[in-house]
Amino acid sequence: MRCPKCNSENCHYIDKTHVKSSAGKACCGYALCGPLGVLCGLNAKTVSEQYWVCNDCGKRFNVGENGIAIAAPTNAEEAKNKENDKKLQALDSNTKVGFNDVFEQTTSNFVTRAYLFIEEKNLVKAKEYIEKELDVNAKNPYAHFADFMCNNGIFSEDDLSNHQTRLEEYLEFNKAQRYADEKLLVLLNSYIQMVDKSIADEEERQRLLEIKRQEELAEKKRQREEAIGKIKENLNVAKDVSIEKSKQAGKVVGTGLNKAADASSKGAKNFYEYYQKNPKNVLIGGGVVIGVIVLIIIIKMMM
């Protein structure tokens, strides 16, 4: 496991379990029901906690579903996250209004008809009724919001939540904000937050994918360099063996040639010594050999 802070692999895993109870509830239980109330008030719970710790820098972190190390929240961060969750829950409960509820607030029949056509994905007819409303009331925020939906192919909140362009960049949306009443403005601001979060989540996903891709490329490069190193090592070993065998073969050939030269020199020396001692025998033997050769030639010619 690799530390997300210092990139060290010197990490260890911790699986900690502890019992959590409430002393205040235990006191209330004792006051109401005596000793038995203490046990009921304690309401002990077993809490399990798992995380990794870097032995080099002390960083605590967990591992996400995609295998990437993510830092474990500290107590302060955890408290802040809980507070943000509460804020988001409050925001959701106050501002989560569907498109149907939005357009039910308008008193314009033209906008209502336009929205119904958007539901049917009939954008041509929807645009027709939006223009009719804007000709009558150019500051109708619901008409501008419907125009924004129509121009960008947004038919539901799901389409909006997956949008990857900031809403402030659209002229129709800005007009809807400019002329919106308080209730619609809260909703539009919640849509801005929703789209911004979607964009941030996508950017974070792409960042993690890029980190994973770079790690995979680094691992492939390491494996390739390791394989090349082994090939070079094997080639060097084979080269050394070939050189050694060539040297040994040269020695064998050289030894054989030396022995042949010695034998030839020794035979010539022995023949010369014999000739010095017995010249007649050598001449007679030579004549006999020559006579035999001549006789063989004559017989071949006669055949």
Integer Cα distance of 49 and 57 in angstroms:
20
Task: Note the pLDDT of residue 92.
Answer: 47
Q: Are 172 and 127 in contact (CB under 8 A)?
A: no
Alpha helix locations (H) across the chain?
A: 23-33, 35-42, 75-95, 99-104, 109-119, 123-136, 141-151, 157-161, 171-179, 182-277, 279-302
- The total number of residues written for the chain in this structure: 303
The ranges assigned to domains in the chain are 1-72, 74-235
Amino acid at 255: T
Amino acid at 202: E
Q: What is the dihedral of CA 153, 155, 157, 163, to 10 degrees?
A: -10
Task: Note the pLDDT of residue 95.
Answer: 42
Integer Cα distance of 7 and 1 in angstroms:
9
Task: Note the pLDDT of residue 89.
Answer: 55
Give, in order, the Cα–Cα distances in Å from 229 to each of 166, 232, 233, 242: 51, 5, 6, 20
Task: Note the pLDDT of residue 45.
Answer: 60
**For every one of its 303 residues, what pLDDT tens digit does the chain have, with 9 covering 90 and above?**
677 777 777 887 777 775 555 555 555 555 556 555 545 555 556 666 777 788 877 777 776 444 445 555 556 666 666 665 655 455 444 444 456 556 666 678 888 888 888 888 898 999 999 999 999 999 999 899 989 988 988 887 778 777 888 888 899 999 988 998 888 888 888 888 888 888 888 888 888 889 889 988 988 888 888 888 888 888 887 777 777 777 776 676 667 666 766 666 666 666 667 666 666 665 666 666 676 677 777 777 776
Q: What is the dihedral of CA 60, 61, 62, 68, to 10 degrees?
A: -160
Task: Note the pLDDT of residue 258.
Answer: 67
